[in-house]
């Protein structure tokens, strides 16, 4: 039953991390070393190689552990359930949407500007975090909240504390 996902919890991350560490290790030879006067006997390759190698070993450990759990599971007569991608997507749609709006938010912030993007982002994110049944009551407060926060934060942080929040389209208005 539940044990099914348990060994997958070892194998999948193990594979991802192993691939990641292989990619990381393969980048190391390309790093420029410094061999001039007073350079250290251990170059700037050593520690990354150490971490990368260590990570690879740990990832393999995880994969092996997962495979052994899987073998034990099958021996006990467990049945492997089929993974339903669509159901998983459906279950996590708020999370996926949140990441999508967050990505759009930061990606366009420089070009469009902090204020408009923050209004849109807050509006979208608040609605995503609200059950659809309550959207009717939420959209207006969400919009107002977005506008107030965006303008207030921009005023405090950009105008008063000199944090370089992107001006974007506000620039043409000299704000």
* Interface residues toward another protein, by CB under 8 A: 9, 12-13, 16-17, 21, 24, 27, 31-34, 36-42, 44, 46-48, 51-52, 54-55, 58-59, 61-62, 65, 92, 94-95, 97-99, 102-103, 105-107, 109-110, 118, 121-122, 125-126, 128-131, 138, 141-142, 145, 149-150, 153, 157, 161-166, 174
Q: Are 47 and 28 in contact (CB under 8 A)?
A: no
Q: 94 in helix, strand or coil?
A: helix
Measured from the CB atom, the residue of 102 and 170 that comes closer to another protein is 102
Ordered alpha helix ranges (H), 28-92: 46-75, 85-91
Minimum distance of another protein from residue 156's CB (angstroms): 9
Minimum distance of another protein from residue 161's CB (angstroms): 5
Measured from the CB atom, the residue of 55 and 67 that comes closer to another protein is 55
Minimum distance of another protein from residue 82's CB (angstroms): 19
Q: Are 79 and 2 in contact (CB under 8 A)?
A: no
- In Å, how far are 69, 79, 81, 99 from 1, measured between CA atoms? 14, 8, 8, 30
Lookup: tokens for 14 = 């193990």
Going by the DSSP 8-state scheme, the letter that residue 170 receives in this structure is G
Measured from the CB atom, the residue of 80 and 144 that comes closer to another protein is 144
Measured from the CB atom, the residue of 67 and 145 that comes closer to another protein is 145
Nearest to 50 by CA among 25, 20, 15: 25
Measured from the CB atom, the residue of 70 and 118 that comes closer to another protein is 118
Minimum distance of another protein from residue 66's CB (angstroms): 10
Minimum distance of another protein from residue 105's CB (angstroms): 8
- In Å, how far are 44, 68, 131 from 58, measured between CA atoms? 22, 15, 41
């Amino acid at each position: 039953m539940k044990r099914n996902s348990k060994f997958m919890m070892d194998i999948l991350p193990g594979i991802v991390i192993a691939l990641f560490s292989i990619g990381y290790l393969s980048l190391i030879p390309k790093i420029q070393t410094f061999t001039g006067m007073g350079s250290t006997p251990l170059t700037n390759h050593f520690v990354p190689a150490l971490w990368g190698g260590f990570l690879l070993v740990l990832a393999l450990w995880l994969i092996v552990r997962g495979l052994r759990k899987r073998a034990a599971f099958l021996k006990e007569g467990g049945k492997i359930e089929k993974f339903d991608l669509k159901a998983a997507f459906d279950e996590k749609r708020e999370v996926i949407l949140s990441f999508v709006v967050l990505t759009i938010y930061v990606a366009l912030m420089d070009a469009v500007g902090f204020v408009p993007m923050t209004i849109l982002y807050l509006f979208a994110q608040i609605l995503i975090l609200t059950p659809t049944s309550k959207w009717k009551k939420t959209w207006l407060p969400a919009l107002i909240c977005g506008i107030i926060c965006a303008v207030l934060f921009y005023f405090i942080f950009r105008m008063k504390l000199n944090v370089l929040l992107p001006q974007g389209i506000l620039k043409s208005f000299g704000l």
